[in-house]
Amino acid sequence: MNTIAFIGLGNMGSPMVKNLLKAGCSVRVFDINETAAKALSPLGAVVAHSLEDAVKGVDTVITMLPAGEHVRAVYLGDHHGGVGLLNMVSANTFLIDSSTIDPDSARLVANEAHNKALEFVDAPVSGGVAGAEAGTLTFIVGGSNIGFQQAQKVLQHVGKNIFHAGQAGDGQMAKICNNLMLGIQMAGACEALSLGIDNGLDPKVLSDIMLQSSGRNWALELYNPCPGVMPNVPASNQYQPGFMSKLMLKDLGLGADAALKSQSAIPMGSLARNLYAFHNARGNEALDFSSIFKMYSKK
Ligand code: NAD
């Protein structure tokens, strides 16, 4: 049986662990928020009380952390002399980072892992909490062919589509492009729905029309940002996340960083990043990213 250490049990990590347990994997869980780890114990997860306790002797480590700084701290150690998990795991432990982070951090960790003869892949995901719960996530893997094949064996328990984007860091780059489009699309969906509401249209009727028209997109189809239009989405649950606005701002910032490096024009992505910066500065950063609808709404 595959023994997995899972680090980072937030909105995405916890449902992913549940699916690994359902698939019969033996899972050790660790989060700096011990309540999140304890909640998985009745389902069969073994709660670890330290990073070392979690990763020692396992076959595979999966991390699902907020941002690059957390991933670097967990794998390489923090700036206060803390040791990273690359120095804790046994030889042959396979390492998967599913957080969305900057490609340079992913390449740095991949390089350090390689120096210790450990296989590491970046494997960020798309599909949101609903995809994590249903086990239908899309994984976007960056790493060697061997790493990709190894990753498929584990990730098939939590995902439906598993892509090989290229070498180390390329999974992150593809994910950053995807989320640049998602941020633009979400802002666009909010704008169109609000314009319709302001001109007397019913947002449900307008959504149905756009879903069968050329304005159709993921936000409208699966994640309608207008309260009351769609059940079981954050908009109909006071914008509880979901995918927090602060994480969307992080991802749009990753897009902006990448664009600076490649001298690419991203006018729409830059605008979306600024909209999220405004929105978050007004106390919305822990709400779901679809809450940007409130910025457009006159009510
Ligand atoms: P989250 O903030 O809900 O969860 C992150 C977890 O990591 C928290 O429980 C936190 O306590 C834990 N953590 C932080 N530092 C740690 C450390 N040093 N050791 C152990 N645990 C630590 O975030 P999330 O929504 O689960 O997202 C995780 C990643 O997945 C992010 O990079 C995000 O951009 C990406 N992502 C999220 C979604 C989504 O819909 N929520 C979708 C796709 C990708």
* Domain definitions of the chain by residue range: 3-168, 173-296
Whole-model pTM: value is 0.95
pLDDT of residue 82: 77
pLDDT of residue 291: 98
* Distance of CA 11 from the midpoint of ligand 1 (Å): 7
| Tokens 């990073």, residue located | 51
* Residue minimizing CA distance to atom 44 of ligand 1: 125
Diameter of the chain by CA atoms? Answer: 64
Pocket test for ligand 1, best of 6, 7, 9, 11 (most atoms within 8 A of CB): 11
List residues with catalytic annotation. 175
Whether 20 lines ligand 1, by a CB cut-off of 6 Å, is no
Strands 159-166 and 137-142: parallel
Q: For 15-39, what is the mean pLDDT? A: 97
Rounded percentage of the chain residues whose pLDDT exceeds 90: 97
276 pLDDT tier (thresholds 50, 70, 90): very high
Whether 12 lines ligand 1, by a CB cut-off of 6 Å, is yes
Residue type, 93: T
* Residue minimizing CA distance to atom 30 of ligand 1: 99
β-sheet bridge partners, residue 139: 125, 162
Which atom in ligand 1 lies closest to the alpha carbon of residue 13?
Answer: 26
* Sequence-ordered alpha helix ranges (H) in the chain: 13-22, 34-38, 51-55, 68-76, 103-115, 128-134, 145-155, 170-198, 203-211, 218-222, 245-262, 267-279, 293-296
* Residue minimizing CA distance to atom 17 of ligand 1: 32
248 pLDDT tier (thresholds 50, 70, 90): very high
Whether 55 lines ligand 1, by a CB cut-off of 6 Å, is no
CATH of 3-168, one of 3.30.70.1400, 3.30.230.10, 3.40.50.300, 3.40.50.720: 3.40.50.720
Whether 48 lines ligand 1, by a CB cut-off of 6 Å, is no
pLDDT of residue 237: 98
Whether 73 lines ligand 1, by a CB cut-off of 6 Å, is yes
Q: Are 117 and 91 in contact (CB under 8 A)?
A: yes
Whether 36 lines ligand 1, by a CB cut-off of 6 Å, is yes
Q: Which CATH superfamily is domain 173-296 in?
A: N-(1-d-carboxylethyl)-l-norvaline Dehydrogenase; domain 2 (1.10.1040.10)
* Residue minimizing CA distance to atom 29 of ligand 1: 99
pLDDT of residue 106: 98
pLDDT digits (tens, 9 = 90+) for 189-211: 999 999 999 999 999 999 999 99
* Residue minimizing CA distance to atom 1 of ligand 1: 10
For the packed helices 103-115 and 68-76, what is the interaxial angle rounded to 10 degrees?
10
- Is the pLDDT at 278 greater than 70, yes or no? yes
Whether 252 lines ligand 1, by a CB cut-off of 6 Å, is no
* Distance of CA 243 from the midpoint of ligand 1 (Å): 9
